[in-house]
Amino acid sequence: MSAPAATGGLTEERSVQFQDAQGVNVTVNYGMPQPDNFGPKPPFSQLDSNHDGRISQTEAQAYLPLYNDWLHVAPHASSISQAQYDGWND
């Protein structure tokens, strides 16, 4: 198996070539996709759709970066306060 070789691009795509058991050359390309640009985080009130003063994990689904970072923002909690949201850096 050869070492990964950079193929360029902003995705940090890599490529590995090897031979399978039947002697066929196989190339595997892998890497991370470019990050989505979600822009600035929305106001707390926009995500607090039921206006109870907290953002639930379900409400956080409306802003994917918050939902993906939920365990960091709200460890062991089902909702976050405005202070927690304001302190979270997306």
CA-nearest of 33, 26, 28 to 9 is 33
With a pLDDT cut of 90, the percent of the chain lying above it is 69
Q: Decide which of 31 and 71 is more confident.
A: 71
The full set of domain ranges for the chain reads 1-35, 44-87
Averaged pLDDT, 54-59: 97
Max distance between CA atoms of the chain, in angstroms, equals 63
Q: C-alpha distances in angstroms, 47 versus 35, 68, 75, 90?
A: 22, 15, 19, 14
Q: What is the pLDDT of residues 34-46, one digit of tens each?
A: 777 888 999 999 9
| Sign of the CA dihedral running 52, 58, 60, 61 | negative
